[in-house]
Chain A
Amino acid sequence: MSTREIFDGRLEAALLLAPTAIVSAVFLYYPTALAFRTSFFESGFGRAPEFVGLENYVSLLGNPEYHSSVLISVVFAAIVVVGVIAVSLYLTFLIHEVDAGQGWYLISVIWPYALPPAVGALVFLFMVHPTLGVLTGPIEALGIELDWFNDGPQAFVVVALAAIWKQIGYNVIFMIAAMKNVPDALTETAEIDGVGRLRRLVSVYVPIMTPTLFFLVIIDTIYAFFGTFAFVDLLTSGGPSNATNVLIFDLYREAFSFFNFGTASAKSVVLFLVVAVLMAVQFRLTEEYSYYGA
């Protein structure tokens, strides 16, 4: 029994909880359980599911294409998370330091986040399209031959850049709030002591912002694995030659292009496990290094 009586009765508490509980159950827990179950079946479009035990997992273990997809996803996530955090942190610092027009800088940094992912992907496509892109000319003027429709590594970089660009706004919103919470006196002490600007960012602001930064690392990791589907789908469709075939896109194609629901479900369970393990590691690190105020 609860020691605090907040609600008049259990009925009231249950009613208030119901919408969230129902939505979570119908759209989250039930599909999760179903995916887990389906991963043990050979299941296709218009065919009766047939129980195959662990066969789907075993075949994934022996599939080199899938291995490379896992590797690509992890590398992609690492690049996106590090890139988003680093770029957002620096942009936040610049906005924090500037005296005039802070609001305008903030808006211009945040707006890509306000776009739906698909629109963001299309905007980015028109910016760096190999022949039509607005930025293609200037980039090629630097001596880089832009050919990411055919060049795998270039396509990987383009998708990663698009994913970073889209997520910066979200990070900046949290980071600017955290940075503004650093007491002014610390900034002033650092200024009087002659501590350089970057040193101040890295040695004073970042340690104090760690709770926010760890939260963002978690959110950005989830984003990198799950939220970047639209960029892969609209920019490269996983190509060229599977160079951008990240897990989330790979399992989508498995399910809805090849209609191998069993294999796709097994892939989604593996993706879930990969992310879960990474989360566990991150939470452990958070406990160890995060600074939670005096």
Chain B
Amino acid sequence: MTTITLETLSKEFDDVVAVNGIDLTVRDGEFLVVVGPSGCGKSTTLRLLAGLETPTDGEIRMDSRDVTGAEPKDRNVAMVFQNYALYPHMTGRRNITFGMNAAGSFTDEEIDRRVAKAAETLDIADLLDRKPQAMSGGERQRVALGRAIVRDPDAFLMDEPLSNLDAKLRIQMRAELTRLHAELGTTTVYVTHDQTEAMTLGERVVVMDDGRIQQVDPPQALYDFPTNRFVAEFIGDPAMNMIDVELEGGAAVHDAFRIPLPAGSAEGETGAGTEPLADPDAGGRRHAVLGIRPEDLHLARERPDLGETTFDATVEVTEPLGDSLLVHCSIGNETVKMGAEPRSSLEPGGAVSVGYDPERLHLFDPETGEAFYHSATATAPADRAEPVVTD
């Protein structure tokens, strides 16, 4: 069990800044997911943690120990790679034991005992005598996990471990990882570009972009109270609709609609850099970007309970998703996406009346992209922490 602390950690490759002075604390026993688009610095951060890269600046501490310059082997971490990184010429068992044997700090009996336990935990007993080429992707990743857990490391570092698996297996392995973490309680840092994975796995999620941390929060808080446009658009699929509006007398005004803004949390507890919504600087008018998630927009006829205020839109394209219908429609000169009942009959070109959930409105500064208003009153974000299982 280990707390990992990063302080103003930076990594530059020649003139490319991969990680730009990040501060982060990974709590003892936490499952922390780092998510972001390609090239955001998430993998580099993980490699810095593992000791595979040397930081340009900053400090890494594990508990109170400064490991910034320590060799990978002296950090007692285990890493799981996207491509499994199994030794192709060794059997499953040898793959698991090779590192322990080579490190020389375990007796044979101890190794056997640990392998047996890991095999039981991961249900890989029948894979131990097979070589990787005779295993499926999921089986390989299980063996790779086995190799990580036998050493009983202070922390697991996982670099997109599920990305090479097919969709069905990915969902299954996701659940297994959650179970494994509940069982072992080892501090885990998990890197992914898949926001669904981030939301489902992480106790807290770090969103990174351009080498910087954009937000660190539990998944629901991240979804409900994004601190800026990047987070708002990155988390959630399909992405949040962004509409340019004017703020006027407590309402968001657009050519096609006027949406009154509930009192809300002008300084939501998760919203950094917030400014008061009321009384903006000049003349009571102010540019802003209104953010509404597609699932918070509805056909007015389907959800009459949402209130009187609706606006008109023209249907452009419909995408049936099975459990719902994704409707692309235009409001004035903006295109927005919205959810509808799965079997709604909507014709392209047809006019619809659109309602919205007044509890789920967000406003962003058009210049900085910072969120400065969420219509929901921020309550304490629900903590998704799993009950700790102890032996």
Contacts and interface: CB of A to CB of B under 8 A. Distances in A.
A192 B103 contact: no
Contacts, number: 68
Given A193-B98, A195-B99, A188 B73 contact: no
B77 A192 contact: yes
B72 A192 contact: yes
A189 interface: yes
A90 interface: no
B164 to A, nearest CB: 12
Nearest to A191: B72
B85 A185 contact: yes
Contacts of A150: none
Interface string B98-128: 1110110000000000000000000000000
B133 interface: yes
B102 A192 contact: no
Interface of A is mostly: helix
Contacts of A192: 50-52, 72-73, 75, 77-79, 99
- Interface bracket on B: 20 to 34
B89 A189 contact: no
A46 interface: no
B88 A208 contact: yes
Contacts of A142: none
B223 interface: no
Contacts of B99: 189-190, 192-195
Contacts of B87: 186, 204, 207
Contacts of B79: 188-189, 192
Nearest to A194: B73
Contacts of A59: none
Interface string B68-96: 00011101011101010101110000000
B62 to A, nearest CB: 14
Contacts of A63: none
B103 A294 contact: no
24 contacts: A185-B81, A185-B85, A186-B87, A188-B50, A188-B81, A188-B85, A189-B99, A190-B99, A191-B52, A191-B71, A191-B73, A192-B50, A192-B75, A192-B77, A192-B78, A192-B79, A192-B99, A193-B73, A193-B151, A195-B103, A199-B102, A204-B87, A291-B88, A293-B133
Interface of B: 50-52, 71-73, 75, 77-79, 81, 83, 85, 87-89, 98-100, 102-103, 131-133, 147, 151
